[in-house]
Structure 1
Amino acid sequence: MLQLILGICLVSALASCRKESPQINDPKRYIEGSFSEAFEAYWNGMNNNYIFWDTDPTNWDEIYRKYQPIFAKMNINDSTDVRKSYTYFKEMTSTLIDSHYALRINSPYVQDSAAYISPSDARHQKSLDYHGNINPNFFYSTIPPKYLDRGYVRGFINLSATDQFFAVAGKIKGNILYLHFNEFSLNVIKDLPTPNNAQKALQYYFDEVKKPEGLKGIIIDVRSNGGGYLSDLDLLVGGLTDKEFSIGATRSKIGNGRLDYTPWIPATVHPGKDAKLFTAPIIVLADLNSVSMAEMTTMALKAMPGGNVKFVGERTWGGNGPLLNNNDYYNSGQFSTGFLSLVYTSSTALRYVDGKLYEGIGFPPDIEVKYNKAALDAGTDPQLEKAISLIPQ
């Protein structure tokens, strides 16, 4: 869940509002010598920063009435009470709809999974349809020789010790352009000074899009993609249109009040330089583990004005509220306290062009093709095969 960068107009507009509204309940200002103070810091931080209070089913005032007395009786220096607090934080956050949401306890008494809480992870894992990510090697090593024509391009690059980007691009049946990549770092990869095969795979795709006359269709595969930079939206989707179009609207917080929201600000995709309108079928493949920018890209493609886009696969994760890369000017988004090293939450809410919020529920496919582990293990891809079948030859 990489932080996303919003457009400069949105940032400037909200920053000018934010400076006139000081944080009277900054969570980091609390001296957390007791669990009562730790609870107050967290509750007020959420009360101020959480962006979905007008749609979330969680009764935040009832949370205060129920849990404040419980925390007041606990000892923040007692290992048993600290471990109990994990259970209470998990209970308090279980119904929050923000699917980016996570928190991490900062204490030597809890470590690893016992320190980290993600309500959306917990909910998804209880679902009968839950599955993990498709193995990256399936995209990288199985799909190319089985489904792509000779001449496909693939490559990977290590962006950090824990972050490896890879991309696969090629043709199917000579006239269907295919692209898969594992995270939205497209602009980062494109601008790297040293050429690499991941960069070449992306360049292959973008070069082919610029000469669409010979293409019968495009398949953009964002399955098991965890998201990334919002700036990639114009690069990828903007490369398929010659006109600006709306995907909906976003809003943030403008004050300390729980419902102090900014107005809804239009969210648009801008055409790329010299981009041409692509009128042949576009199929976007997404699944349960398509999160954040992978979801927003799916939604943006579906909002294209030509009506030539189909979404095949599964309902997406449900975490599509954009994240800002700098929270100094906003009363929304992630924060920390002394006891909680991270409270990770969306900075903005996205209302789709149809007027609906898909946060917490995911974006539904036009054609559902469920995850099939047996087929994948056998080296076949029913979701991709369905996508191919929808592009007339």
Structure 2
Amino acid sequence: MEKTQTYRLKRLWFLVPGVIALGLTWLAQLSPTATETVYARGIYPWISSIWGFLPSLVSWSVAQWVVVAFLAFCAGWFAFYIMALARGRGERGLVLWKALTTMAAAVSVGYCIFALMCGLNYYRLTFAEDAGFELRESTTEELASLCESLAENMNEARAEVAGAMDGDSNSSDNTAAAAEADEPDSYAASRGGFEAYAREAVTNMEALAETYPALVRPLYSPPKPVLFSELMSYADIAGMYFPFTVESNINVDGPFFTIPCTMGHELAHQCGFMREDEANFIGYLACKQSADPLTRYSGYSLAYDYALSALIRTDREAAVAVNGTLSDAVRADRKARAEYLKQFEGPVAEASNAANNAYLKANQQTDGTRSYGRMVDLLLAEARQSD
């Protein structure tokens, strides 16, 4: 009997990490400035770099197999305790206690890792505050001007991609091959594909950190392609930062021109900026300074999507006029992306978005997924600062 009681008490020790994490989360909410100084810029870059060091050494996503192993563990755990309860007879109380405490221990330890590897960063200073961007109401004319500038930059970057591929082609008599070479996917493949762009994404983030020191960290784990990317498309997920391995996981199933900006977005999370609007903006900043035209094109495309959506809500005619300035190549790319995404519309994507919305609200992003729209304010602030 005494041995059983001791066993039961030992299991409760696994709840301590969760209690500590709750306490740290409470303290982080009290002072964003202290959280920024002590944790986000002090402790987090080092502990996350150490924690993520081993996964960073491989080119494939460790996270995807951690998820598979976790799901297998859950299925085995559930089956084991169902059978134990069925056979337990007089010991069913102890079996149930073991099941509940095992589950509580897993949640406690998991939540503690989550808090230390990203959760506390939700309470740091915003990137806008750190970088000195002035977020304020803007006129429709400012928004239209931003859209025009982004459209022009998109056209120029896309033309550079086509020009680079034309220059690389030595076959003037094969029009089909030339047409294929003009596509962003072919351009990316000719430059080394995903791995080359993953390395470049890290280089771009390191360069951006020279302007914005809040992005500095000892180790950037390069973005990883996910083997189960098609499943991510069904869930409407372009990328995911996985705090348990400190990896930036990328859906590689869609058009490649969307991938560089997704890499930047997920690396921004790795740098400790968890707000979605800010991660989008940081990804855009990292892409727009790149020497590679496809990377710039990706960043401008991301920014244009959000800016044009805002302009449509305020001045539809102006939005139609701006959209009419896009080149045929840009239009074709955007059409191909829309057709790709359309095939995955359905209840799975809706459920995934609902879950993401709940997650954002649980971490004090009270607008839920609408927080993505605040990127436009950052784009306008950056445009004013650049003038």
**TM-score using structure 2 length:** 0.23
**Bigger-Rg structure (1/2):** 2
TM-score (norm 1): 0.23
**The structure with more strand, counted as a fraction of residues:** 1
